[in-house]
Structure 1
Amino acid sequence: MANHLFALPLLFFHLLLLLLFTYSSALSQAKTLSNLTSPYLFPSTFLPNYHHMLQNFKIFVYDPSPKPTFSNPVETLFHSSLLKSPLLTSDPDLAHLFYLSLPSDLSSRSTARSIRELRLKFPFWNRTLGADHFYVSCTGMGIESDRNLVELKKNSIQISCFPTIEGRFIPHKDVTLPPLSRNVEESKNAERFLGFYYGKEGGGISTVLDGLRRDPEFLIESQPLDDGDVAEKISRSRFCLFFYGFGREMKVGEALRGGCVPVVISDRPILDLPFGDVLRWPEIAVFVGMGGGGEDVKHVLRRTCGERYDRMRELGKKASVHFEWDWDGSMKKRYGYGYDAFHTVLYQLWIRRHTIRYSRREEWVSSAHVRV
């Protein structure tokens, strides 16, 4: 009898372990399934956090006088979209971040003078030495010795154009703008090419392209094409080839939207991918080194097939909405408010607000009166 009584608690203990194991396995499978069907780094938290950002993010814009001029259309589009955004606030005390309007043609000396005047006129820069400020610069900030420029480069969030100039991007602080894309729709016709490249040739990429050009499964176009031809060839190809840092004729976003898996070929680590804090890039794009030439590219692409390719293609199409710029408000009708490129860039700014460390009030109040 005593042995039976002793066995009951042991039985319950084993049942409890079994339940815990079953729950853990189900949770793990749910997470795995979520990862397989979502292009996001954190599928369960991205959308709630994104909507929270849309409802709560506040940005203060210093009066842009004179009106800034930018060298790249995507810089202008971001700036104009921000000035029309309902996320702006006229009360700096409510702001999470502060926007600096710095024209593309502004010299280093003039930029330093602008920061110097800003820190003397307002207290906000000195609170964090610019860490809660952001600015747009397609070319990025180079190495400077002036204190104001050093703080701007080291502390402030820089929004650059992808791909950035080497040495002018600080990972985990800076972000990149996705380029403007053509309107590419997925083709209903059968795929015709394994790989498609459209862009200039030269330098080290010619060796890779020469190894692909002789293969009928690859289409290499270096002469100008109209947008319709480019869109048609993208949608008829399984993979679209990009050489990192070289040529901008074809855009990653339009490849994703057209169902063409991007292949990024590079001779160095890539640290500035658009929406690197949001998307699981290894699940929507293929990355290949330059060293193996065209044969290595072919080997990698032919190995990426079956279910893996189909999954990458579908996840890429889901992610493509974040690369579209809402020129006319039509995206809001198709996807709902806020899933365009502009708001996804803002989301990256939003999550960076947690890295800002404010000085004690008495420190930054007194520093506001220090001569700089």
Structure 2
Amino acid sequence: MESPTFFFSALFSFLLLSFILFIFHPTPLSEFITLATSNNADYSVHLHPIRTKFSTHNPQLLAVNEDSTAIHRNKSRNRIPMREVGKVEEELAGARASIRSNRSLGTTAHGGGDEGYVPAGAVYRNPRLFYRSYLEMEKILKVYVYPDGDHPIVHDGPCKDIYSIEGRFLHEIEHGHGRFRTNDPNLAHVFFLPLSVAWMVKYLYTPLSYDHSPLRQFVSDYVRVISTKYPFWNRTHGADHFMLACHDWGPSTSKGNPFLYNTSIRVLCNANTSEGFKPEKDVSLPEIHLLGGEVSPKLLSPQKDNNTPRRHLAFFAGGPHGPIRPKLFQYWKNRDDDDNDNDNDIRVYEYLPKDLDYYSFMLNSKFCLCPSGYEVASPRIVESIYAECVPVILSNNYVLPFSDVLQWEAFSLKVDVSDIPRLREILSAIPEDEYLRLKEGVKIVRRHFTLNQPVKRFDVFHMILHSIWLRRLNIPVR
């Protein structure tokens, strides 16, 4: 029979071990998310366990199809070699030091056209820092694309019409030349969630229901899969992950996971600061309308002679969407009939008559009006740049694309919505030399908004990546 001393010693050891396990046992991410969202009305989606059947009506849309056996089988992968983490962070630290230094830029081996282009001029906030940062991105940036999920909602997206940039970026990052993509997630600087919000709306949304919860649930389930199967999301709560969406509902859909909404890099056309867009971590995505999947041939070779006058002062045609356009129509719709001076006319149409050509008007106008519709972004901004027609931004709370490095005041005008009644006065008062300076700026930045296939250096694909790169570096280049 053991002595009382032995008994109490064993009991004390057991209680001490239990206390240590209780203190140091990590809280599951799902419990952390539940705690984080329990008092926040913005996140009404219940984060329940992974569902193996997303829709009984559309079983082919299943993106979250991992069973518990597969997850347990992959738990051994949820360990990050510390040497790999250290290497990635050392690369980023080296890039920051290089950007801040005054060392010679030297030369970098790269492909994709525009080999000799060096940013310069007033259209850039700080062309030297931008160029340094861009070269560092070309040298080291690696993106890991999660392979999980099936078509059509994951790894696919629209490549024509108004949300074309969503599909074009997805296809390029997954099927392009592959310069920035890595198949080893331990070497990645950023991680891409290859979801298409436009296709979520097409396949999961019930028309006229105004219910976004199926979209949010899909996002919630997808993040749950990758955070269970891989260690990378949990390491930073998604801070080095990004999603990309051009659909108006991109911000709302990202609320499917609170860390995706609050912490991750969200690349959004709907870059509205009044709706939660945070310029310090999110990226404004240019909206590019490709009617048949390509840029109109009329915009490929715009007017080359600056001495040829443009007939109209300003132009807009479109529907009465949102709060700004009705005011534009109130003051300027069909007002061209009242003014016989073609050098001073403002052509505004609520949809263009079929006998008139939209792009011809842009090519023959000095200024192109770009009012917000239902949401802040407008494809007319990029169309104006293609047509070398100075964009006139009529919007509230809109963060313009690539404004980390581009100085929009050098190639566009921002007019307060309250000044819409004074549009002719404001635009007519701009001296000719100032207009030509703005137009020249538009010609310079055109390369940064151009969709190329194959991609070229400094084009829109690379500018999107560079915006993501800056947020991963967490360094200003102004």
The size of the alignment, in residue pairs, is 311
How far off is 1:169 after superposition? 2.0
AA partner of residue 184 (structure 2): D
Q: Matched residue of 1:221: which SS?
A: strand
Aligned residues: CA RMSD: 2.9
How far off is 1:38 after superposition? 3.5
**Is residue 130 of structure 2 the alignment partner of residue 74 of structure 1?**
no
Aligned to 2:132: 48
AA partner of residue 266 (structure 2): Q
How far off is 1:220 after superposition? 1.7
Q: Distance in 2 between matches of 1:221 and 1:145?
A: 37
Aligned to 2:262: 154
Q: Matched residue of 2:362: which SS?
A: helix
Aligned to 1:236: 364
Larger radius of gyration: 2
Q: Is the 8 A contact 2:119 2:128 kept in 1?
A: no
Q: Is the 8 A contact 2:192 2:243 kept in 1?
A: yes
How far does the alpha carbon of each residue in 1:202-256 deviate from its partner, in whole angstroms, 9 at most, with x for none? 6553333342342431112333478992222112111000112358885212212
Q: Matched residue of 1:142: which SS?
A: helix
User: What is the TM-score with the length of structure 1 in the denominator?
Assistant: 0.75
How far does the alpha carbon of each residue in 1:16-72 deviate from its partner, in whole angstroms, 9 at most, with x for none? xxxxxxxxxxxxxxxxxx999331111122223212212221011110421314463
**Is residue 354 of structure 2 the alignment partner of residue 196 of structure 1?**
no
**Is residue 329 of structure 2 the alignment partner of residue 209 of structure 1?**
yes
List runs of 5+ in structure 1 lacking aligned partners: 1-33, 357-372
AA partner of residue 223 (structure 1): Y
**Is residue 305 of structure 2 the alignment partner of residue 179 of structure 1?**
no
Aligned to 2:400: 273
Q: Percent identity?
A: 28
* Cα distance change on mapping 1:101 and 1:300 into 2, 3 Å: same
* Cα distance change on mapping 1:291 and 1:191 into 2, 3 Å: same
How far off is 1:297 after superposition? 1.6
How far does the alpha carbon of each residue in 1:256-279 deviate from its partner, in whole angstroms, 9 at most, with x for none? 23221100113x332x21112121
Aligned to 1:355: 474
* Cα distance change on mapping 1:55 and 1:144 into 2, 3 Å: closer
User: What is the TM-score with the length of structure 2 in the denominator?
Assistant: 0.59
AA partner of residue 255 (structure 1): S
Q: Distance in 1 between matches of 2:429 and 2:173?
A: 43
Matches within 5 A, 1:1-372: 37-67=121-151, 68=154, 69-70=156-157, 72-83=163-174, 84=176, 85-104=178-197, 105=200, 107-138=215-246, 139-142=249-252, 149-162=257-270, 167-181=275-289, 182-183=295-296, 184=299, 185-187=301-303, 188=305, 189-201=308-320, 203-212=323-332, 213-215=334-336, 216=339, 217-224=345-352, 229-246=357-374, 251-266=380-395, 268-270=396-398, 272-294=399-421, 296-326=422-452, 328-329=453-454, 337-355=456-474
Q: Distance in 2 between matches of 1:120 and 1:36?
A: 46
* Cα distance change on mapping 1:249 and 1:161 into 2, 3 Å: closer
Q: Distance in 2 between matches of 1:158 and 1:108?
A: 15
* Cα distance change on mapping 1:354 and 1:303 into 2, 3 Å: same
AA partner of residue 320 (structure 1): R
* Cα distance change on mapping 1:343 and 1:36 into 2, 3 Å: closer
Aligned to 2:8: none
Q: Distance in 2 between matches of 1:226 and 1:164?
A: 33
Q: Is the 8 A contact 1:258 1:317 kept in 2?
A: no
Q: Matched residue of 2:169: which SS?
A: helix
* Cα distance change on mapping 1:35 and 1:302 into 2, 3 Å: farther
